[in-house]
Amino acid sequence: MADFKNYINGTWQDAAAGAQFDNRNPADRNDLIGAFPQSDATDVDAAVKAAKAAERAWKLMPAPARGDILRRAGDIFQRRKGELARIMTREMGKPVFETTGDIQEAIDTCYYAATEGRRLFGYNAPSEMPNKMNLSFRMPVGICGIITAWNFPIAVPSWKIIPALVCGNTIVFKPSEESPHSANIFAEILEEAGLPAGVFNVVHGAGAAGSAIVEHPDVKLVGFTGSTETGKAIAGKSGQANKKCSLEMGGKNAQIVMDDANMELALEGVLWGAFGTTGQRCTATSRLILHEKIHDDFLARLIERAKTVVVGPGLEDGTQMGPVINEKQLNKVESYVAIGKEQGAECVLGGRRSDDPALANGLFYMPTIFSKVNRSMRIFQEEIFGPVLSVVKVSSFEEAVETLNDSAYGLSSSIYTQDVNKAFTAVRDLEAGITYVNGPTIGAEAHMPFGGVKGTGNGHREGGWTVFEIFTEWKSVYVDFSGTLQRAQIDNYDD
C-alpha cells in the first residue's frame, strides 16, 4: 500500500506519533489510494518552526523573483496536468474533464501572481506638510495557516497559497483529509519550481490538525475554505487570538428563470449548475426559481434532460456525474431527501442511490429534483452538498428576487432573462458575492474577486487583485526632509 508523508522543511516525514489514516476512491471503496499521516499539534509545530526559519530570507527575496518561481510552478502544473487530473479524480470523484479545469485554475492563478510580483502596488499621497513625502507599501503578514475543503483539491488551495507566497508569506497547509494526494503533488511542484525549503509545508490530518494550526501562536493568518459551521469556529478562535482570518464557506445558490428567457440556454445552465461536481460545489445550483408561465414546461424538459445525465466513475470516458465524496455525505443527502418528502415537497426525479450493479462499490446517488418546494422547507434553506435540486414557482420578477434572497447564504446567484432592465435590477438587488446573467451559478475566473456575503464569508475576496488585500499588511511611510520638527494637525492650523 502506498505510504504518503507530510512535507515539512523540504523533507517528507511521517507524523511524529506514527498515526495514519486511509484514503479511498469514492467511485470504488475497494480502491485504497494509500495511508497518510494523521498529524497532531507536534507535527503542526514542526511545520510552523520550519515556516518561521524560512520567513526572513523569503520575505527579503524581491517580489518579482518570487513571482518567477510561481510562473515556473504554473509551467509545471501545465506539464503534469493530465497525470494530476487523474490523481484528483481518483481521490475525490469528479470527472477528469472537471479536474483538468481545476488544475487550469491553479495555472491561471500562478501566472496572475507571477505578474503581480512586478506590481504589488502601494499608493502615494501628497503630504499636508511642506518637504515631506507620504508612501505606502504592502508587507507580508507572516506565517499563514491554510485549511481547505476537498471539492477543489488544487484550485481552491492555489487561490490562497500562490498569492500568499508572492506577497512574501510562508505557509503551513492542511488539505482536506478527503483529497490529500493532490496536496503532495502541489508540494512537489512548488519544490521543482525552486521554492526554498520551509516556505511551504503540508501537514495532513483531520480537524484536530486544522485546530492546532489555528491555535498556534506563530500563525498570524488563517485562510479557510469549508463549511460555515467549521468556519465560524475558526473565526471565534482567530478573533480571540487577534489573527487575521479569511473565510470562504457554504452556499445555497439559486438560478432564476424568467418567462422571457432563452429556455434551452437556461436548461443547460441548471443541468450544469445542479449536477456538475455532483452538486458538491460551494457555488452549486441547489434552488431553481421558475416563473409560473414557464414552470410546467421547463420542469418537464428538465426532468427529461436530467434523466440522461451519465452517472459513473470520473475516470471513465463519457461520465458526466461522479460519486458523492464519502458515506457521511451520502447519508446526509439521503436524510435531506427524506426530509423533503416529509415536509411535502414532491420528488419528481431520482431520490435514490444508483442501482447499477457496476457501481455497487461506489457512492453514487442519482440526480434528484424536488418540485412544489416552498421557502419554509429545509431543503430550500439548508446546504445539502449533493445532486439535489429544489424547484420553486413564483409569479413575478419581484417575487423571484425576494425568493432568491431568502437565504442564510450569499455566494452565487443567476438569472436567465432577455430583458435588460430585469437583468440589471437583479445585478443590483440579488444578495450574493457573484451574480451571473444568462449563465449558471457555478464557475469563476481566476482574475475576478471570489467570495460571498451573509453566512458564506466574512468580508474578504479571493481571486484577482482582491486576494492581495488578505495576504498583505499595509505600512505607511512618512519621509520628512524639511530639517524641522513638523507636527501634523498642530502646526498647520491655528485653532
Active site residues: 248, 282
User: Considering the rule CB under 6 A, would residue 230 count as an interface residue with ligand NAD?
Assistant: yes
CA distance 359 to 239: 46
Type and span of the H or E element at 37: strand 28-37
User: Considering the rule CB under 6 A, would residue 234 count as an interface residue with ligand NAD?
Assistant: yes
Q: Mark 48-87 with x for binding to ligand NAD (rule: CB under 6 A) and - for no binding.
A: ----------------------------------------
In angstroms, give the least distance from the CB of 441 to ligand NAD. Answer: 12
Torsion angles phi and psi, residue 412, rounded to 5: -125, 155
In angstroms, give the least distance from the CB of 452 to ligand NAD. Answer: 6
Measured over the CA atoms of residue 191, residue 195, residue 197 and residue 200, the dihedral's sign is negative
In angstroms, give the least distance from the CB of 282 to ligand NAD. Answer: 3
- Spatial contact of 153 and 57, defined as CB atoms under 8 Å apart: no
Q: Mark 381-410 with x for binding to ligand NAD (rule: CB under 6 A) and - for no binding.
A: --x-x-------------------------
Q: Which is nearer to ligand NAD, 120 or 333 (CB)?
A: 333
Best CA proximity match to 146, nearest among 165, 132, 129, 121 = 165
Q: Which is nearer to ligand NAD, 112 or 397 (CB)?
A: 112
Q: Please pick, from the candidates 103, 172, 183, 214, the single residue that binds ligand NAD as defined by CB under 6 A.
A: 214
Best CA proximity match to 389, nearest among 314, 296, 328, 302 = 302
Overall residue count recorded for the chain in this entry: 495
Q: Which is nearer to ligand NAD, 37 or 251 (CB)?
A: 251
Q: Please pick, from the candidates 147, 154, 369, 404, the single residue that binds ligand NAD as defined by CB under 6 A.
A: 147
Type and span of the H or E element at 255: strand 253-257
In angstroms, give the least distance from the CB of 231 to ligand NAD. Answer: 7
CA distance 353 to 331: 10
In angstroms, give the least distance from the CB of 252 to ligand NAD. Answer: 9
Helices 397-405 and 420-429: angle between axes, nearest 10 degrees = 20
- What residues contact residue 79 under an 8 Å CB cut-off, 6+ apart? none
Best CA proximity match to 194, nearest among 73, 61, 62, 53 = 73
Q: Which is nearer to ligand NAD, 138 or 454 (CB)?
A: 454
User: Considering the rule CB under 6 A, would residue 223 count as an interface residue with ligand NAD?
Assistant: no
Residue nearest ligand NAD by beta-carbon distance? 210
- Spatial contact of 21 and 38, defined as CB atoms under 8 Å apart: yes
Q: Which region among 19-27, 98-106, 170-178, 183-191 touches ligand NAD (by CB under 6 A)?
A: 170-178
By CB neighbour count within 10 A (0-12 exposed, 13-18 middle, 19+ buried), where does 318 fall? exposed
Owner of C-alpha cell 460551494: 282
User: Considering the rule CB under 6 A, would residue 151 count as an interface residue with ligand NAD?
Assistant: yes
User: Considering the rule CB under 6 A, would residue 23 count as an interface residue with ligand NAD?
Assistant: no
Chain contacts with ligand NAD (rule: CB under 6 A): 147-152, 156, 174, 176-177, 206-207, 210-211, 214, 225-227, 230, 233-234, 248-251, 282, 383, 385, 411, 456
